[in-house]
């Protein structure tokens, strides 16, 4: 009985391992296109160019931020693309600089996920850090678009690569 259990467990582990390896073997062209799209988002933010930023999103994108309130409560806040674009395009004195590192891209067919660490600066002043998690889809013209964006936000435990 123990041998059957051990064999079954090994088969399951082998199946999950081979499946995860296949998903991480993204087409280099897709990975490059997705990486360029993510960089376009952050370049547009630095430039205050809401039109540039708008092009990386599907119009029905869902946006969420997760953080801990000053009272210690977990908060999930939904954002709206329209509000995000308005904030980017409204002139501000300081550059909004979101610096990313440790970016991981996973693609399977017409869907992709991106997970990246970030630190956000207003001008040269550190504001917060966390993780950006993106879900993307490839549209009918073959272009990747962000359909879901979720980020975490914190002030501590940040280790940006500079």
Q: What is the pLDDT of residues 102-150, one digit of tens each?
A: 999 999 999 999 999 999 999 999 999 999 999 999 999 999 999 999 9
Q: Which carries the bigger pLDDT value, residue 55 or residue 5?
A: 55
Q: 3-class secondary structure for 22-52?
A: HHHCCCHHHHHHHHHHHHHHHHHHHHCCHHH
159 belongs to a structural domain: no
Band of the pLDDT at 160, cuts 50, 70, 90? low
pTM of the model: 0.81
CATH number of the domain residue 75 falls in = 3.10.450.50
Amino acid 105: pLDDT: 97
Residue 13 lies in a domain: no
Q: Is the pLDDT of residue 159 over 80?
A: no
Model pLDDT for residues 12-43, shown as the tens digit of each residue: 344 433 333 334 556 889 999 999 999 999 99
The per-residue b/e assignment along 88-99, b for 16 or more CB within 10 angstroms, e otherwise, is bbeeeeeebbbb
Q: Is residue 17 part of a domain?
A: no
pLDDT in the model for residue 158: 82
Residue 161 has pLDDT above 80, yes or no: no
- pLDDT at position 25 is 52
Q: Averaged over 33-61, what is the pLDDT?
A: 98
The answer as to whether 8 is a domain residue is: no
Q: Is residue 15 part of a domain?
A: no
Range of the domain at 99: 27-153
Rg for the chain (alpha carbons), in Å? 19
Number of domains in the chain: 1
68 belongs to a structural domain? yes
Q: Is residue 128 in a domain?
A: yes
Whether residue 161 lies inside any domain: the answer is no
């Amino acid at each position: 009985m123990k041998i059957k259990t051990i064999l079954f467990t090994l088969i399951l582990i082998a199946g999950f391992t081979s499946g995860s390896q296949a998903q991480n073997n993204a087409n280099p062209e897709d990975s490059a296109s997705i990486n360029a799209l993510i960089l376009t988002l952050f370049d547009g933010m630095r430039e205050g160019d809401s039109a540039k930023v708008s092009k990386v999103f599907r119009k029905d994108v869902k946006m969420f931020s997760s953080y801990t309130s000053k009272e210690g409560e977990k908060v999930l806040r939904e954002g709206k693309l329209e509000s995000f674009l308005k904030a980017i395009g409204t002139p501000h004195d300081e550059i909004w600089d979101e610096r990313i590192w440790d970016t991981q891209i996973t693609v399977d067919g017409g869907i992709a996920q991106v997970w990246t660490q970030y630190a956000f600066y207003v001008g040269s002043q550190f504001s917060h850090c966390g993780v950006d998690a993106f879900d993307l889809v490839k549209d009918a013209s073959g272009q990747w678009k962000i359909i879901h964006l979720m980020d975490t936000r914190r002030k501590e435990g940040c280790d940006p690569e500079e």
